[in-house]
Chain A
Amino acid sequence: MRSSRWNAPPVAAALAVALVLGLWSVTGPDGAAQAGRIPVGMPLEFETEEQEQQYRRLIRELRCTVCQNQALDESNAGLAADLRGQIYDMTLEGNSREEIVEFMVARYGDFVLYRPPFRADTFMLWIGPFLLLIAGGLVWAQVVRQRQAMARSRELSPEERAALERLERDE
């Protein structure tokens, strides 16, 4: 406290008490308090089937940024309802899926995308599982080859088999 000018006002003190009691989250933005334009489940008119498909797909794949972890599709937050309105308007105006996604990313960042973009820093996210699948296949082949050799060496004496096992394990 370098300056007494910034002492906490009574409201902040009340907030602090609420925080201690766990009744209120002081750091969280108050995003959900206001109703928005398109409530969940609101029937909407579209000019074409494609527009409706595009709208429905977008609200499933875009994240409500004030919510904990919810798509726009199911969120009751005011912001989600507004963003649904924005997507609806842009869809009716003839914007493509890519244009709408670009619009959202330009304002809210990549965080809004439930389908992360494919680029340098998400390369391992998309490729990783398939690299692991290949690695799993190689391990499978390696182990099977080893055990095949063991199955063939059945006629060896126990000592010889043990020696072979050691040999193979250390390779």
Chain B
Amino acid sequence: MIPELGQFALILALCLAVTQAILPLVGAARGQERLMRSGTFLATGQFVFLAIAYAALTYAFVTSDFSVRYVTQNSSLALPIQYKVTAVWGGHEGSLLLWVMILAAWGVAVAAFSKALPREMLARVLAVMGMVSVGFLAFTVFTSNPFVRLIPMPGDGTDLNPLLQDPGMIAHPPLLYMGYVGFAVVFAFAIAALLGGRLDAAWARWSRPWTTVAWVFLTLGIGMGSWWAYYELGWGGWWFWDPVENASFMPWLTGTALIHSLAVTEKRGGFKTWTLMLAILTFALTILGAFLVRSGVITSVHAFATDPERGVFILGMLAVTLLASFILYAIRAPKVGLGGGFGWYSRESLLLANNALLAVACAAVMIGTLYPLVLDAFSMSKISVGPPYFDAVFMPLMLPLLFLIGIGPMVAWKQSDPVQTYRQLRYVLLVSVLLGGVWPLTMGAWSPMTALGLMLGAWIILTAVLDLRNRMVRRRARGVGAMVRGVLQPSYLGMHVAHVGLALVVIAIAMVNTYEVERDTRMAPGETVSVGGYDFTMLAVGPVQGPNYDAQRANILVTRNGREVALLTPEKRNYFSQPGMPMIQASLQRSPLRDLYVSLGEPLDQHAWIVRLYYKPYMFWMWTGGILMALGGLLAAADRRYRLKPREADVTQKRAAAGRPAAGEVS
């Protein structure tokens, strides 16, 4: 009964979404206030019904209702309760339900936080979001209904994929979907602006916080996925350039470009058509990601069990989205002005370079991801494109970008002087080069690529510090309060925090790629092995019993110079649902400068086991960097000017534009 209620709610939500896609748009076209306002109610109603559907599915999981096929496929009686709740998004159908529910939640948020928007604009935005909802809801209802019953009802389910039975997996998909779906909001703003023909600074200002928040969630989602892969897959990898990872990375790259191009659009009225194009492309890339993961067109570790019919549906959705937006764009974009002029060396020109590099980087990832498909489609040959390719192609594109991050915030809008920048930054440059040269020596053999990475990381951090200092110095005359306020201005601080976060990630990658120590050993209880200056002693290996698995657990004592550092307990688990396919549960000890990482392999003769030991330097910086990037985005989105009524904000902006040219903010 409850599952049928859920299904009913799902269908009602679809009906409301159809209405939401039409009524507000008609209202905006005819200037009918009541129709325009209906968008808010419809969005709320849609969310309520989807929440009911979602609750119904959760209820089926919690009560182990195996008459629901999706529950049978993704749960079991022995599955711990917290994973029963998260197993709702452990498979294709349920994760899609989560997706549409989050989409509806964003719709409610837009309706709630956009009181300052002109009514026509809000109506159009909600209508476009309704259209997106219709696409995904129809997809759910017609091809991927999670409430389908199973007859006869089995006595137990086949269990959730053991890889997903992990806390990291609880947070990863919702964060990622928050990001994906957040870009649907940005898309809706772009399309609404095109429909209304209103493409001014106000439009950019409304879009910016939504874009930034979506980007924050996508950043966190990708970071969480990487963090999860790092300890859960058991062999210490954190990025595989797998097609599914690339599918989330491509919209992240264009989304990052969009954040920067929106800055130009808001501050200087420039790059409007390009900004629109990026908003459309980023959303299209999130659909492409769904296609790649859910259609089976590409072989990946993360892909859902697939079905060609679903692939056709998503592809249709992608085609409609792209072609319709593109036609609209082709009609409206030529009427959009170009904004102000600027010199070859200016904030605008550097942001343009940033966008060009990010767009090319995204294209490179796309080429690598889809190229095997191209060859296959023409029956030429089957090839694989993996990490060696992406490392070789992606890194050279990133280096100039990282260098520009240091300069960009220092350069004035419109026109600046490279000689002046050089004078400002020459000492920072010198210190960065020295630091990059010396830092690797603390780790071992010197390597040029590591030195380059560390130099760029140091460069970004030091230029950010210098810029903060300069800003304070400029405001010294106006008192301590003005100094502090200037530095703490959220959008400005957010920019630097995010950049420093990226720098930390770069440093971590440079360090761990070069100085990671990996040691395969055979260990029996009582034996000691040294890696990276740490002594690993195996104390014992014994059986442990989990709720839906049994395991062998090793106790490995780590000491350094005789002092205890950690007791690590890697496991090798046999889930009852997957006999003969043991899962590795690695054990880590994290600290700011290095992680110690132990995986338990196969048992050998007698009491000995295969053990893989890792010393992974600076991994902590990677996760810290990811969090800082997200934090920077949150700060930027929290800036006061986004919460002002349009007229006030215009005044504030004019005042800012009239102020010192070098102190503008781009976050």
Report A-chain residues with C-beta under 8 Å of the C-beta of B357.
133, 136
Report B-chain residues with C-beta under 8 Å of the C-beta of A44.
520
Contact B371 A150 (CB under 8 A): no
Q: Which of A41, A128, A130 contacts B601 (CB 8 A)?
A: A41
Given A71-B386, A147-B338, also A129-B599 (CB < 8 A): no
Report B-chain residues with C-beta under 8 Å of the C-beta of A21.
150
Cα separation A146 to B382 with both chains bound (whole Å): 45
Contact A129 B338 (CB under 8 A): no
Given A32-B581, A42-B601, also A136-B384 (CB < 8 A): no
Q: Which of B305, B353, B389, B582 contacts A114 (CB 8 A)?
A: B389
- Between A41, A69, A71, A146, the greatest number of chain B beta carbons within 10 A of the residue's beta carbon is seen for A41
Contact B397 A22 (CB under 8 A): no
Question: From DSSP, what is the main secondary structure of chain A's interface residues?
Answer: helix
Contact B414 A151 (CB under 8 A): yes
Cα separation A23 to B383 with both chains bound (whole Å): 29
Contact B352 A140 (CB under 8 A): yes
Report A-chain residues with C-beta under 8 Å of the C-beta of B150.
21
Q: With an 8 A cutoff between CB atoms, is A103 at the interface?
A: no
Q: With an 8 A cutoff between CB atoms, is A74 at the interface?
A: yes
Q: Which of A36-57 contact B (CB under 8 A)?
A: 39-44
* A103-145 Cβ-contact flags toward B at 8 Å (1 or 0): 0000001111111100001101110111011001101100111
Smallest distance from the beta carbon of B205 to chain A beta carbons, Å?
22
Cα separation A66 to B602 with both chains bound (whole Å): 20
Q: Which residue of A is nearest B334, CB measured? A: A169
* A9-48 Cβ-contact flags toward B at 8 Å (1 or 0): 0000000000001110000000011010001111110000
Report B-chain residues with C-beta under 8 Å of the C-beta of A76.
581-582
Report A-chain residues with C-beta under 8 Å of the C-beta of B581.
32, 76
Contact A73 B235 (CB under 8 A): yes
Q: Which residue of B is nearest A114, CB measured? A: B386
Contact B388 A41 (CB under 8 A): no
Contact A63 B580 (CB under 8 A): no
Q: With an 8 A cutoff between CB atoms, is A148 at the interface?
A: yes
Q: With an 8 A cutoff between CB atoms, is A82 at the interface?
A: no
Cα separation A32 to B579 with both chains bound (whole Å): 12
Cα separation A130 to B368 with both chains bound (whole Å): 13
Report A-chain residues with C-beta under 8 Å of the C-beta of B386.
61, 63, 71, 114-115
Binding site for A on B (CB under 8 A): 73, 150, 158, 233-235, 237, 240, 242-243, 270, 299-301, 303, 305, 334, 337-338, 340-344, 348-349, 352-353, 356-357, 359-360, 363-364, 367-368, 371, 375, 380-389, 392-393, 397, 414-415, 520-522, 580-582, 599, 601-602, 610-612
Instruction: Kindly list the 6 A-B residue pairs having the minimum CB-CB distance in the complex, ordered from nearest.
Output: A114-B386, A150-B341, A151-B341, A115-B388, A129-B364, A41-B601
Binding site for B on A (CB under 8 A): 21-23, 32-33, 35, 39-44, 60-61, 63, 67-71, 73-74, 76, 109-116, 121-122, 124-126, 128-130, 132-133, 136-137, 139-140, 143-154, 165, 168-169
